[in-house]
């Protein structure tokens, strides 16, 4: 048994997760998988084929009004072939506000969003320890003041495999979760947009009852960048603006994405700020405009929960 170095229930209670942003825990899990794959690449230069699979867990209850309507999404299972929950990573997991992933923009608090929106989390991780595959399993829940993990040999394993299952949304969050798979896929792509710009981005796929979407292909089909980057300075601070065309009609309009550490933090509706920039741009030209703003200044001024910026 491993005690948490904080009051877990208190930390989760104080974690600010707006009800209208129920996919934040899913984003955190996907980014964790991206980091795990990057960490495995750093330890093994021959490893190149990173993969992340997201499985949508649907309610078994059908709609009372329409049998053809998709059941509510009540959870997600995120699977990757990254480095896994090694001893070093499990120690970091137990420490609130850990600085272990600081270089990657990690704040050490993202996992608390899991328990803010879900009743429990199940983790299973197969990885190599001293050249031999082992398997670590544990449940993450506010009902326990310690983490009771099991570690055993796993001789039958032939590759790294970690799964994080976010189980049973709390009702106040579940009602805000998009029902359509394509909508969930698009939201993940938007949040992780900068990762998809990297030619070495792992393959990310979302699987549902009767549908499977490769997010890398969705990005390739709908987002056109053409290496159109502008750089400018404000009070000696350097910023980069990547101009992007999004050829997907259901995208939520012309936006400015303000990013920190390779992920979306905040966005602005440009139609409210720039005269004549409205829905007609899509009708005339077949694309929406997205500006992706990045800067080391934004990296250093993102708030602890990555939901806004601390800028005076």
Tens of pLDDT, residue by residue over 241-294, are 999 998 887 777 899 999 988 778 888 989 888 877 777 888 888 888 999 999
In the predicted structure, residue 232 carries a pLDDT above the cut 50? yes
Q: Three-state secondary structure along the chain?
A: CEECCCCHHHHHHCCCCCCCCCCHHHHHHHHHHHHHHHHHHHHCCCCCCCEEEEEEEECCCCCCCCCCCCCCEEEEEEEECCCCCCHHHHHHHHCCCCCCCHHHCCCCCHHHHHHHHEEEEEEEEEEEECCEEEEEEEEECCCCCEECCEEEECCCCCCCEEEEEEEEECHHHHCCCCCCHHHHHHHHHHHCHHHHCCCCCCEEEEECCCCEEEHHHHHHHHEECCCCEEEEEECCEEEEEEEEEECCCCCCCCEEEEEECCEEEEEEEHHHCCCCCCCHHHHHHCCEEEEEEECHHHHHCECCCCCCECCC
In order of 53, 78, 219, the CA distances from 202 in angstroms are: 10, 14, 13
Structural fold of domain 2-221:
Heat Shock Protein 90 (3.30.565)
Whether the Cβ atoms of residue 79 and residue 218 lie closer than 8 Å to each other: no
Q: Which two tokens stand for residue 30?
A: 């996907």
- Cβ count near 28 (within 10 Å): 24
In order of 3, 4, 184, the CA distances from 148 in angstroms are: 9, 11, 32
Whether the Cβ atoms of residue 135 and residue 126 lie closer than 8 Å to each other: yes
Strand partners, 282: none
**Residue predicted with more confidence, 184 or 60:** 184
Q: Model confidence over 150-174: pLDDT tens digits?
A: 999 999 999 999 999 999 999 999 9
If pLDDT is split at 50, 70 and 90, which confidence band does 63 have?
Answer: low
Q: Model confidence over 76-128: pLDDT tens digits?
A: 999 999 999 999 999 888 876 544 444 444 445 778 899 999 998 999 999 99
Give residue limits of the domains in the chain: 2-221, 225-300
């Amino acid at each position: 048994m491993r005690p948490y170095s904080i009051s877990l229930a208190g930390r989760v209670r104080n974690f600010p997760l707006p009800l209208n942003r129920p996919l934040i825990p899913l984003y955190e899990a996907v980014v964790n998988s991206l980091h795990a794959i990057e960490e495995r690449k750093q330890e093994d230069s021959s490893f190149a084929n990173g993969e992340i699979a997201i499985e949508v867990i649907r309610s078994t209850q059908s709609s009372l009004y329409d049998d053809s309507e998709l059941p509510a999404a009540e959870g997600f299972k995120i699977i990757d072939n990254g480095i896994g929950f090694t001893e070093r990573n499990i120690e970091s997991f137990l420490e609130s506000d850990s600085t272990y992933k600081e270089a990657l923009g990690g704040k050490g608090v993202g996992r608390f969003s899991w328990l803010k929106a879900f009743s429990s989390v199940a983790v299973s991780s197969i990885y190599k320890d001293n050249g031999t595959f082992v398997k670590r399993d544990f449940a993450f829940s506010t009902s326990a003041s310690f983490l009771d993990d099991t570690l055993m040999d796993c001789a039958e394993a032939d590759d790294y495999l970690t799964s994080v299952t976010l189980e049973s949304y709390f009702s106040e969050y579940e009602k805000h979760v998009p029902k359509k798979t394509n909508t969930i896929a698009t939201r993940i792509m938007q949040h992780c947009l900068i990762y998809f710009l990297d030619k070495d981005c792992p393959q990310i796929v979302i699987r549902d009852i009767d549908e499977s979407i490769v997010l890398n292909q969705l990005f390739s089909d709908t987002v056109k960048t053409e290496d159109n980057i502008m750089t400018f300075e404000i009070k000696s601070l350097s910023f980069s603006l990547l101009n992007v065309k999004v050829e997907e009609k259901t995208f939520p309009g012309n936006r400015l994405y303000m990013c920190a550490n390779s992920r979306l933090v905040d966005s602005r509706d440009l139609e409210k700020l720039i005269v004549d920039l409205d829905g007609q741009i899509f009708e005339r030209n077949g694309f929406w405009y997205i500006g992706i703003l990045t800067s080391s200044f934004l990296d250093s001024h993102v708030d602890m929960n990555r939901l806004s910026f601390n800028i005076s």
